[in-house]
Amino acid sequence: MGKNKLARWTEMKSFRNVYEPSADEVYTKDHSLKGSWNSKVFSNINPIILELGCGKGEYTVGLATRYPQKNYIGIDIKGARMWRGSKTAHEKNILNVAFIRTRVEFINSFFSEDEIEEIWITFPDPQPKRKNEFKRLTSPRFLNSYRKFLKNNGIIHLKTDSKDLYSYTLDLVKSNCLEIIESTDDLYSGLIENDILSIRTHYEKIFLEKGSRICYLSFRINKNKVITNDQRQKKQ
Ligand SMILES: C[S@@+](CC[C@H](N)C(=O)[O-])C[C@H]1O[C@@H](n2cnc3c(N)ncnc32)[C@H](O)[C@@H]1O
């Protein structure tokens, strides 16, 4: 580990807002905070919103600052990136923020039924190879795992530079008859004016500098309906 990374990792251990469970704590069993984030971490009954693959946590911190009456949890496997967001929240005493360093694959060990209101997925790795489809954070495998802890009609927001990932997710949403709230393959063309959507993440800035278009999709998950690839595959 580089010197910088090590220093950040050590510093992050002192932050009250970061949880770094070992694989043992979440691999085959539930984390001790499952079902208790409101009572034990935030000490309120406000809605909880997740950011998956949060990187430096621009959405987690940006939304928490705008909406102090909601709680935000950023999740990523890379601690050195998460250090940025957790340090900002720590220094500015933003109390409605937490970070979990873990793989999204373990997410059901952390949250219980109806514990979460919304999910932001910000510039996830697009996993372009067909054989890696199941690794996409918007594949049926992951959407069904989110269904278990999202409130009924809970919202998923996807922001991505990948037209392929955007189209893939949109097809899935349509073929499963999920309610679309907003959908555009060119967010900054001026059609959607929205302060929240204008938060720019680290990767987003890089993609914008390269001239990429930003896609945005938000939709609701029906808790009682399993999401499948079946209809999408039939179409192909
Ligand atoms: C392209 S970066 C985007 C980071 C940030 N959201 C942004 O927009 O700047 C993708 C992030 O997802 C994280 N990630 C990818 N797969 C993950 C997984 N299965 N579980 C947890 N984090 C994951 C990576 O560590 C990385 O920080």
- Does residue 230 sit in helix, strand or coil? helix
Location of structure tokens 């009924």: 152
* CA separation for the pair 11, 21 (Å, rounded): 16
Per-residue pLDDT of 82-131, as tens digits, reads 999 999 999 999 999 999 999 999 999 999 999 999 999 999 999 987 77
Q: Which residues line ligand 1 (CB under 6 A)?
A: 53-55, 76-78, 81, 103-105, 122-125, 201-204
* DSSP string across 183-221: EES-GGGTTS--TTTT---HHHHHHHHTTPPPEEEEEEE
Q: Which of 107, 215, 80 is nearest to 159 (CA)?
A: 215
> Given this chain, do its domains 1-101 and 113-236 carry the same CATH topology?
yes
Digitized pLDDT (tens) for each residue of the chain, 236 residues in all: 677 888 888 889 889 899 999 888 888 899 999 999 999 999 999 999 999 999 999 999 999 999 999 999 999 999 989 999 999 999 999 999 999 999 999 999 999 999 999 999 999 999 987 778 899 999 999 999 999 999 999 999 999 999 999 999 999 999 999 999 999 999 998 767 788 888 999 999 999 999 999 999 999 999 999 999 976 666 55
Alpha carbon of 154 to those of 19, 40, 205, 230: distances in Å?
24, 23, 28, 23
- State yes or no: is 125 an active-site residue: yes
pLDDT reported for residue 232? 61
pLDDT reported for residue 31? 95
pLDDT reported for residue 193? 73
Dist. CA 81 → ligand 1 center (Å): 9
* CA separation for the pair 143, 219 (Å, rounded): 11
- Write the residue with the smallest CA distance to atom 3 of ligand 1: 123
Domain ranges of the chain: 1-101, 113-236
Domain 1-101 has CATH 3.40.50.920: no
* CA separation for the pair 151, 117 (Å, rounded): 6
CATH topology for the 113-236 domain: Rossmann fold (3.40.50)
**Atom nearest to 78 CA in ligand 1:** 25
